[in-house]
Amino acid sequence: MVLPTLSAESPRPGNVAVNSPPPSRTGRIFDIKRFSTHDGPGIRSTVFLTGCPLRCAWCHNPEAFVLHGLRDSPGVREVTVPALVRELERDLPYFDRSGGGVTISGGEPLCQPGFVCELLRTCRDRELHTALDTCGLVEPKALIEAAALTDLILYDLKVMDSAAHAAWTGQPNHTILENLQRLNDLEVAVWIRLPLIPGVSDDPRNLDAMIARLAATRFRRVSILPYHRIAEAKYQRLGLPNKLAGVEPPSVERIEDVRARFAAAGFDPHIGR
Ligand code: SF4
């Protein structure tokens, strides 16, 4: 397997953030998706930050792997918290009517912990509902600080076997599972997100291991996110190897099997959101 190469500017598990993040009013984003109904409750605006410690073979946003964006990605820009919040508040009427708000995603948002915490703090001051979408491979202090400032965490779980996780994402999963346990001890709401990747995460042993792990937590809401091929053109454009080239999305029946497996185990599974 050939994974995209980590660059020197690419955060790794050991140096994502060493201490509690200093506040930062400037951050780097590569997109804002308005009117999203897949990234938390209601109608939301999702802000995508650059930088990620993982290299998931199915990633839809490979241009965000590094903080400055790959190949001078055109959407990458620096923003200040006040300017970003002003932009997001244009959709306040939709948030209010739908019970929605702002989702901070990426990349891995906590690669920019000071900016994320400042953004969450400002949104809270302005009574905007927030969700933080994280891969979990982040410095625990940053996660705990962000968890205290957000209304909801969207927490990715992919592959439960650590060696297989490393093969498919570039990193083992022990920190991710430890951080899952840390969140379990806090009060923040958490929705688990499972990218359903044929031949990777849809293996029955992987699903059973995930169910067993989650059964020991307070988390019951599971979002099943079926793989699709929308990013194939991006990999070609960026000249990155695509390990999943030609892999078909899971069938409707397979998706329903997985949903039923979680439901039978007492979870609250949802497809695509
Ligand atoms: S964690 Fe998300 S953004 Fe990072 S590589 Fe995986 S899919 Fe892409």
CATH of the domain at 189: 3.20.20.70
Domain extent, residue 38, equals 21-271
pLDDT, mean of residues 109-131: 97
How far apart (Å, rounded) are the C-alpha atoms in residues 173 and 159?
A: 8
Measured CA to CA, the distance from residue 55 to residue 166 in angstroms comes to 9
Please return the burial class of 271, using the count of CB atoms within 10 Å of its CB with bins 0-12, 13-18 and 19+. Answer: middle
- Report whether residue 165 contacts ligand 1, using a CB cutoff of 6 Å: no
Q: What angle do CA 268, 191, 49 make, to 5 degrees?
A: 150
- 2 in a structural domain: no
On the question of pLDDT at 169 being above 90, the answer is: yes
In a domain, 7, yes or no: no
Mean pLDDT of the chain: 90
CA of 93 to the centre of ligand 1 (A): 31
Decide if 62 is inside a domain: yes
In a domain? residue 5: no
User: Could you tell me if residue 267 is inside a domain?
Assistant: yes
The answer to the question of residue 123 being in a domain is: yes
Amino acid (one-letter) located at 23: P
Does the beta carbon of 59 sit less than 6 angstroms from any atom of ligand 1?
yes
**CA 55 to ligand 1 center in whole angstroms:** 6
Residue 72: band (very low, low, confident or very high) from pLDDT cuts 50, 70, 90: low
Could you write out the DSSP letters of every residue in 153-169?
EEEE---SSHHHHHHHH
Question: Ligand 1 center to residue 52 CA distance, Å?
Answer: 6
Residue 64 CA: nearest ligand 1 atom is: 3
Any domain includes 1: no
Question: Is 254 inside any structural domain?
Answer: yes
Domain count along the chain: 1
Q: Give the dihedral sign, CA 17/21/22/27.
A: positive
DSSP 211: H
**Closest protein CA for atom 2 of ligand 1:** 107
Confidence (pTM): 0.91
What 3-state class would DSSP assign to 229?
A: coil
> What is the arithmetic mean of pLDDT over 220-226?
98
133 lines ligand 1 (CB under 6 A): no
**Tokens 């709401």 belong to which residue?**
189
- Cα separation of 188 and 195, whole Å? 22
Asked whether 55 lines ligand 1 (CB < 6 A), one says yes
